[in-house]
Amino acid sequence: MNYQTNISFGLVNIPVLLNSAIKDNNVTFNLLHKKCDTRLEFIRYCPHCKEKVKQNEIVKGYEYSDNNYVTFTSEEFAKLKNENDKAIEIISFVDINEIDPVYYDKSYILTPNKSTKAFELLKEALRKSKKVAIAKTYLHNRLYYVVIRFGYQNIIMNSLYYEEEVKLQKEKMKKNFTEAELKMAMQLVENLTDKFKPEEYKDEYQNRIKDAINKKMHGEKITKVKGKKKKSIDDLYKALEASLKENHAKK
């Protein structure tokens, strides 16, 4: 990505490079014609004019009623952008615990575009204050509010969903369980408590796909993955008790 931008911090402008912090781990497949294994082409076709459409002949249209559109060109969209919004403008600083993880979207890493004292100063201020910055900027032709935080010795930026995009609503807690069941559940939670170890979390399904690709390349057949059968216990307390005993045995 290596996108050049600036962090606007009061009257201070910090030139930075923005890159995605995430790598897509999924195996990609092409769509083929089953009959001959030829890769399919995706053609933009206008059924009214009965012809293929070139990229420069396409506009975006909003359907305000059945088959009635208002259209927009790229130049018209550009007119709607505030020039100041191109930078990453810091608005405020908050405690990270105030932000529910459901609001987090994508992760990016910010690095200095050139050696700058201001960048290192902001990084240290974020680290020492244990606060995160709320800012706004354009990403992929859309205005986002973002969180800028210190992590992994870097400045990390996370785009946020807007409140109207988050569909969760507060639900009332229903206590239709016994104190004994709650006590047993708390023991199970305590017994399963561990450190966060992301290096141990492997994408087992993608690894199986990669293994299957290798097998097919060597003319081997794909075998069905066998899962471990789990016991079904209807009584909640007995299920919790059995889970606790099983976990004790594993340890």
pLDDT in tens, 155-209: 999 999 999 999 988 788 788 888 888 898 998 888 888 898 988 888 888 998 9
pLDDT category at 71 given cuts 50, 70, 90 is very high
Say what the pLDDT of residue 50 is. Answer: 93
Average pLDDT for 83-91: 81
Say what the pLDDT of residue 153 is. Answer: 92
Say what the pLDDT of residue 129 is. Answer: 95
Say what the pLDDT of residue 83 is. Answer: 67
Do 156 and 222 lie in a common domain?
no
**What region, left, alpha or beta, does residue 101 occupy, with left being phi > 0 and alpha being psi -120 to 50 degrees?**
alpha
Do 185 and 245 lie in a common domain?
yes
Do 148 and 213 lie in a common domain?
no
Residue 53 domain flag: no
Say what the pLDDT of residue 48 is. Answer: 93
Do 133 and 238 lie in a common domain?
no
d(CA 198, CA 112): 27
Residue corresponding to tokens 């505030």 = 82
Do 19 and 130 lie in a common domain?
yes
Say what the pLDDT of residue 45 is. Answer: 93
pLDDT tens per residue across span 107-116: 999 999 876 8
Do 194 and 217 lie in a common domain?
yes
Residue 85 domain flag: yes
Residue 37 domain flag: no
Do 93 and 152 lie in a common domain?
yes
Residue among 141, 163, 150, 145 nearest 88 (CA): 145
Number of folded domains in the chain? 2
Average pLDDT for 4-15: 90
Do 205 and 240 lie in a common domain?
yes
Do 133 and 209 lie in a common domain?
no
Say what the pLDDT of residue 239 is. Answer: 83
Say what the pLDDT of residue 51 is. Answer: 94
* Exposure string for 99-111, b = 16+ CB within 10 A, e = fewer: beeebeeeebbbe
Question: What does the chain come to in residues?
Answer: 251
Do 86 and 152 lie in a common domain?
yes
The CATH number for 92's domain is 2.40.290.10
pLDDT category at 74 given cuts 50, 70, 90 is confident
Do 157 and 88 lie in a common domain?
yes
Residue 67 domain flag: no
135 has a pLDDT exceeding 90 = yes
Say what the pLDDT of residue 194 is. Answer: 87
Could you tell me the residue range of the domain that residue 145 belongs to?
3-25+80-165
- How many CB atoms within 10 Å of residue 20? 13
pLDDT category at 251 given cuts 50, 70, 90 is low
- The per-residue pLDDT of the chain, averaged, comes to 89
229 has a pLDDT exceeding 80 = no
DSSP per position, the chain = --EEEEEEETTEEEEEEEEES----PPP---EETTTTEEP----EETTTTEE--GGG--EEEEEETTEEEEE-HHHHHHTS-GGGGSEEEEEEEEGGGS-GGGEEEEEEEEESS--HHHHHHHHHHHHHTEEEEEEEEETTEEEEEEEEEETTEEEEEEE--GGG-----------S-HHHHHHHHHHHHHH-----GGG---HHHHHHHHHHHHHHTTPPPPPPPPPP-----SHHHHHHHHHHHHHHH-
Residue with the bigger pLDDT between 147 and 24: it is 147
Average pLDDT for 36-52: 93
Say what the pLDDT of residue 29 is. Answer: 94
Residue 69 domain flag: no
Say what the pLDDT of residue 84 is. Answer: 64
The DSSP bridge partners found for residue 89 are 8, 136
Do 131 and 184 lie in a common domain?
no
Say what the pLDDT of residue 85 is. Answer: 63
